Structure 1
Amino acid sequence: MQAMSGLDAAFLYLEQPHMPMHVGSLCIFEGALKFDDFRLVLAQRMSKLRTFRQKLVNVPLSVDRPFWVDDPHFRLDDHLHHTALPAPGGWRELRRLCSRLFAQTLDRDRPLWEFVFVEGLNNIPQVPAQSTAIISKIHHAAIDGGSGNTIMSVLFDAQPIQPNGDAPEIKAAKPIPSDLELMAHSAADFVRRPFKLPSILLETARATLQSGTFSRVLRREMAVPFRAPHVPFNQPVDRSRLWNTAVLDLRRVKALKDLMKCTLNDVVLAICAGALRHYLLQRESLPEAPLVAMVPISTRKSTQRQDLGNQVDATLVELASQIEDPIERLCQIQRNMAHAKTNHKAANANLIMEYSELVPYGVAGQAARLYTRTELAKRHRPLFNCVITNVPGPRIPLYLAGHRMIASMGMAPIVDGVGLTIVVFSYGDLLTISPMSSPRVMPDLDVFARLLRESANELESAVQAHGAEAHGTD
């Protein structure tokens, strides 16, 4: 039996029927991968993925967070689904399938994950006919972006290895603990928890004073929650989902980073900011104040690379969306991100995780449901405007049952009041920027995906022209 952290539990009490809290991916594999081979690979490696064999058990009366326990009734086939794209088997059909599947919540009576095997990718540019896709859904209570990479390293190979042999036996799980055992485990932690508060408050005061000092030194105010301008995607979301992606050449994006002497993340944020600016201009909704993005920051240490669960903090970054010139916008984002990092270093990166340990699970769940029922997201300024999460992936080719993975794209949840999440993922020489929203919030998400590509081209042209101009004056 494994206690759930407060941060992991947050994704459970945030979840509502219209707000599933899983993360996911779309991986496309070259050629006609066989479902039986796919299943065999999973079966052979399931012993290394204990999280995939664990389910939630709730403490009576929700007096404490749930526990993870090995599921004595685990069956691999309960988590695998097999389908084919309708004709013509193009990108439109695939993204619609991803959107529909991502809108469906996972069954909490089983381990919180599922894979969907998709055949019939016959009409997607730069993808060979008869290729295969795997759509994954794993609850955010179980993993974050960093631990998602750990799962990839277990499931996929660095060489085209054909599966053979049988799956090893998995040790039988112990019976699920009784209500009395669950209450006993919870009671000990429940007693200790209040004694953690003084040290957390002291650390909060230290971090607040130090970050305030940094703000004064930098002569600017940091982005803070509930001060973002209101834009069309800051409203309650509906049950349906819309997902798409923009595929970029990672080498070209890195060239921009080198020319501008900034980070890859700065360039990614600038591309997203440009697309957001043009999208809102088209809707005549661009505010004078800059948009604010929540940018997750991994707190995972090198010794925790194999750990699953969530090891993450976050910072708020102004996106300079009010600036028309793409180079000026990038430079301002670079400064904003540097200030945010300085402020973040001044604080304890684990404060969010420490505070989350103090939140009563039952009360938090009721508060989340009340927030949804009363549509409070309409009644206050946004906490922030959107989420932009950048997960670096492997540069080397990966294989599944001998078939090369062509591309991998991410998916992440949206919530009431923040109806746009953008997942950035790099694999090989590709960089994918994948927005998730809902029809109520962004019915024209396909337009936004196109604007992401156009924003990247606009920034590239501006940087090249800037470089040529600077070279001409030398």
Structure 2
Amino acid sequence: MARRERETDASGRMSEHEALMWNIEKDPWLNPSGGSLVLLDRELDVDQFRQTLRAGIAKTPRLYQRVVPGFARLSTPAWVPDAEFDLDAHLREVVLPSPGTERQLFDLAARLYSEPLDRTRPLWKFVVIHGVQKKRSAMFAIIHHSVSDGIGQLRMAELYQQVSADEPPPPDVDLEAIIAEAVGQGDAKELGGNYGTSTRANIQASATHVARRQFGIGRRMVGEVAMWPADPSRFTDRVSNLVDTVKGAAAQLSPSEEEAQSSSPLWKGRSRHRHLEWVQLQVDDLKKVGKSAGGTINDAFMAGLAEAAHRYHVAHGVDIDTVNSSFVLSTRTDKKAGGNAFTPVPVKLPAGEMDPVDRISAVMAAAEDAKLDAQKTGGMTGLSGVANLLPTSVVTSTARAAASRIDFATSNLRGAPFPIFVSGAEVTATIPMGPVAGTGANITALSMNGNFDIGLFIDPEAIAEPEEFRRHVEESFADMLDACS
């Protein structure tokens, strides 16, 4: 089975939303990067992986590009080739101390995630981990969210993955020559190599970008106004949409007293600490559970998490009616690798005592209402353009306040429905490590080869008993499956 060659994201500048994720990282609590821990069935052939990775980087300019800020925020940051690209800065090996248990591996992955990416280099890193029990290995991967969302990262991963164990590595490539050529084709002054002479070029490039952006907005506005005499309802619709967007922004920046609070009295704490847990289910089981209530895998996924939250609180003598969560609404219309096209959507999930089928139905209704509201207002992403013009301290404090209201964020990704290999080693699981970014936890699921792997990436200051919560998640899904069988 041959993999198709994908087009890669080739935009020269960050979008407003990507720029926001780049800027807020100045507060380490708001790290937006997406990571994963790939479990392999044997030791990885690192030399073969390096050769494969070099070929993949050669096809994906974003992997050898670094960030150059726009001048005084007149424009979003630019992507430029890194003239000093060094693969060794992005790929390294470590050995787990004996006996190499799963807990040791997960704790190492959480520590690796907490190491900041070097903002002067391309924004990604791989760590090959040897010494895992039963003569296996693992691989930690992290990529900044300004480079790609989860879907784009899965597509980028195809560059170093194979569909059979004996697939030969790609031919050697002269990666250094490819990067040197890309550097030579760019504006040397804008690349930032000589800051003393780059200011004029940077101002000019930034001003040109702003002019193009404003011209595009103006052209669309003229075209829209020209349509109003033929269809007066368009004017009413556009004004209504604008009002909805402003209301959505106001709700995010100045929430009501009720909205400004986390639903959970137990999960209010926040910190930079991270703890990783893992639950593996079967895709077919989740389909069965979702279908029992006329819903989807994602409805069953979110309902199971709400049930687990309910059980955790009952076990600690606390009753809650709802839990503040969020899900990711993809707005992708392309098949490209990399890039970002999503908006996070806040939603209140039912967390009281409830029959499993009734809970799925209630989750479906809550998610649909939240989705419709996000589509009208632009969701959290609708704030990006305005936020990028504000002082960073204002943006980060606002983002912290918004994130602190979320008990746990969720995301659900769909990977390949067949076995995947990395340089001869079969992938037995890929555990997502989504950005916690000031929430109580990020809970991301990835379906691949029939498995449904759930990464519970937890702030232990919020969920003080992460292992207990993981047990509640496992038991909740098991009981839901029994009830719906």
TM-score, scaled relative to structure 1 = 0.83
1:321 match: 351
- 1:23 is matched by which residue type in structure 2? G
Q: Does 1:8 align with 2:35?
A: no
Q: Does 1:253 align with 2:286?
A: yes
After TM superposition, list the pairs within 5 Å mapping 1:385-404 onto structure 2. 385-404=407-426
2:115 match: 104
Q: How far off is 1:53 after superposition?
A: 0.5
After TM superposition, list the pairs within 5 Å mapping 1:223-238 onto structure 2. 226=260, 229-237=263-271
Aligned residues with identical type, % of pairs:
24
CA contact (8 A) 2:53 2:159 kept: no
SS in 2 for 1:179: helix
1:205 match: 240
1:367 match: 394
- 1:77 is matched by which residue type in structure 2? D
Q: Does 1:166 align with 2:172?
A: yes
Q: Does 1:460 align with 2:466?
A: no
d(CA) in 1 for partners of 2:381, 2:349: 26
2:301 match: 268
Q: Does 1:294 align with 2:326?
A: yes
CA contact (8 A) 2:421 2:427 kept: yes
After TM superposition, list the pairs within 5 Å mapping 1:337-356 onto structure 2. 337-344=367-374, 347=376, 353=381, 355-356=383-384
Q: How far off is 1:364 after superposition?
A: 4.4
CA contact (8 A) 2:13 2:78 kept: yes
1:420 match: 441
2:250 match: none
TM-score, scaled relative to structure 2 = 0.81
Q: How far off is 1:282 after superposition?
A: 2.3
d(CA) in 2 for partners of 1:413, 1:395: 25
**Closer, same or farther in 2 for the Cα pair 1:164/1:48, shift >3 Å?**
closer
Which range moves more in the overlay, 384-393 or 189-198?
Answer: 189-198
1:220 match: none
CA contact (8 A) 2:446 2:454 kept: yes
d(CA) in 2 for partners of 1:252, 1:294: 23
Q: How far off is 1:243 after superposition?
A: 1.3
Aligned match of 2:131 in 111, 120, 130? 120
d(CA) in 2 for partners of 1:248, 1:95: 18
d(CA) in 1 for partners of 2:403, 2:169: 53
**Closer, same or farther in 2 for the Cα pair 1:205/1:235, shift >3 Å?**
farther
2:89 match: 78
- 2:394 is matched by which residue type in structure 1? A
d(CA) in 2 for partners of 1:292, 1:5: 28
**Closer, same or farther in 2 for the Cα pair 1:6/1:404, shift >3 Å?**
same
d(CA) in 1 for partners of 2:354, 2:292: 20
1:147 match: 152
Residue deviations 1:69-88 (CA, integer Å, cap 9, x gap): 11111111110110111221
**Closer, same or farther in 2 for the Cα pair 1:108/1:381, shift >3 Å?**
closer
d(CA) in 2 for partners of 1:413, 1:390: 13
Q: How far off is 1:190 after superposition?
A: 3.5
Which range moves more in the overlay, 306-315 or 200-209?
Answer: 200-209
d(CA) in 2 for partners of 1:331, 1:162: 48
Which range moves more in the overlay, 239-248 or 139-148?
Answer: 239-248
d(CA) in 2 for partners of 1:258, 1:360: 42
Q: Does 1:436 align with 2:457?
A: yes
Aligned residues: 433
d(CA) in 1 for partners of 2:379, 2:266: 31
Residue deviations 1:229-251 (CA, integer Å, cap 9, x gap): 243334432x3211111111222
Q: Does 1:449 align with 2:484?
A: no
Q: How far off is 1:342 after superposition?
A: 4.5
Q: How far off is 1:14 after superposition?
A: 1.7
Which range moves more in the overlay, 257-266 or 402-411?
Answer: 257-266
Q: How far off is 1:335 after superposition?
A: 2.4
CA contact (8 A) 2:263 2:405 kept: no
Aligned match of 1:309 in 331, 339, 342? 339
**Closer, same or farther in 2 for the Cα pair 1:371/1:340, shift >3 Å?**
closer
d(CA) in 1 for partners of 2:239, 2:149: 25
- 1:184 is matched by which residue type in structure 2? Q
Q: How far off is 1:337 after superposition?
A: 2.6
SS in 2 for 1:2: coil
d(CA) in 2 for partners of 1:341, 1:262: 15
After TM superposition, list the pairs within 5 Å mapping 1:59-78 onto structure 2. 59-78=70-89
Which range moves more in the overlay, 166-175 or 447-456?
Answer: 166-175
Q: Which runs of 5+ in 1 are unaligned?
A: 123-128, 213-223, 465-474
CA contact (8 A) 1:228 1:381 kept: no
Q: How far off is 1:228 after superposition?
A: 5.4
CA contact (8 A) 1:146 1:305 kept: no
SS in 2 for 1:414: coil
CA contact (8 A) 1:64 1:360 kept: no
1:471 match: none
**Closer, same or farther in 2 for the Cα pair 1:353/1:193, shift >3 Å?**
farther
Q: Which runs of 5+ in 2 are unaligned?
A: 1-10, 193-197, 225-234, 248-257
Q: Does 1:334 align with 2:364?
A: yes
CA contact (8 A) 1:25 1:137 kept: yes
- 2:278 is matched by which residue type in structure 1? T
d(CA) in 2 for partners of 1:57, 1:171: 17
CA contact (8 A) 1:59 1:179 kept: no
- 1:432 is matched by which residue type in structure 2? D
d(CA) in 1 for partners of 2:447, 2:391: 35
Q: How far off is 1:158 after superposition?
A: 1.7
Say what the alpha-carbon RMSD is for the aligned residues.
Answer: 2.9
